[in-house]
Amino acid sequence: MFGIYTLIYSLNGKKNDMQLLSKEDLKPLFVANLNQSAYTLKRYFHFWQKKPYLARFKLVLKLLGNQKFDKFIDIGFGSGIFLPELKKRCKNLYGIDIHSEIETVKKIIRDKKITADLQKADINHLPFPDNFFDGVLCLSVLEFISDTDKAVSEIKRVAKSSATIIVGAPVLNSLTNFIYNKIIKFKKHSKLHKTNHEKIINAINKEFEIIKILKLPSWLPLNHSLFFVLKAKNRENQK
């Protein structure tokens, strides 16, 4: 047990220098929806749980590098905690999610002077035209989707031919099963997670060229790690 906590602590030992929404910023969301409160407070502000969750964001930023985007979408923005950091990297920020507190998140970011077009929408039916985005982030979404191929094909539809695609999801194995069940007490994960990391990566590889895969932690083999984040582009635009 001590080894598990040591592993989690090591994932994000450095000071957090990302621009994120704070606990104070998110108070209106916590008041509006107890489910959002329970999830976001535990995942991003609990001493142990926040380390791997924030570490996922750092993997995303590492893959984005210094790129700047015209139109960038965060598919599954959740509480909006990552939107301030993403806004720094694009001219026009968009986001979709299916939860019931989209308007609350809009007000939170508006009060923080962050402009973003946030809509309630499903990944399988993105309300945007073809070839619209030059940057797409889909973090911790595809594991909840039964038809991964359809979701990925919809991402490809709205992405420009030169777009950067960032996708991340948990790795399902005995270690992550233990963490879900015993540490973060998310025992419903086995029912809610409709697919696994291998199927997600295969679905991405059908539509795009995978440029790089980062793992959490980096020193474990993919199938034994906790989480992966990958960068992909259309094959004809691979550099």
Cα separation of the two ends of the chain: 43
Predicted TM-score (pTM) of this structure: 0.89
Q: DSSP per residue over 61-104, as a string?
A: HHHHTT--EEEEEEET-TTSTTHHHHHTTEEEEEEEE-SS-HHH
Beta bridge partners of 136: 73, 165
Cα angle for residues 211, 213, 219 (degrees, 5° grid): 145
- Residue 48: the pLDDT is 75
Look at residue 6 in the predicted model and tell me its pLDDT.
Answer: 42
DSSP 55: H
Residue 30's nearest CA partner among 18, 38, 19 is: 38
* DSSP β-ladder status, 90-97 and 69-75: parallel
Contact assessment for residue 138 and residue 75, using Cβ atoms and an 8 Å cutoff: yes
Q: Do 94 and 117 form a contact (C-beta atoms < 8 A)?
A: yes
Give residue 17's pLDDT.
83
Burial tier of 141 (Cβ tally within 10 Å: 0-12, 13-18, 19+): buried
pLDDT per residue as tens digits for the range 132-157: 999 999 999 999 999 999 999 999 99
Strand order of the β-sheet with 90-97 is 117-120, 90-97, 69-75, 133-139, 159-170, 227-233, 209-216
pLDDT, position 225: 87
Residue 36 has which token pair?
Answer: 């959002």
Which residues does the chain have with pLDDT short of 50? Answer: 1-10, 12-13, 238-239
Identify the DSSP state of 172. Answer: P
What tokens appear for 25 in the block?
A: 């910023």
The pLDDT score that the predictor gives to residue 185 is: 58
pLDDT for 102 equals: 96
Which run of H or of E encompasses 189? helix 189-192
Domains of the chain: 2-8+18-237 (3.40.50.150)
The residue assigned the tokens 């030992």 is: 13
Collapsing DSSP states into helix, strand and coil, what is residue 121? Answer: coil
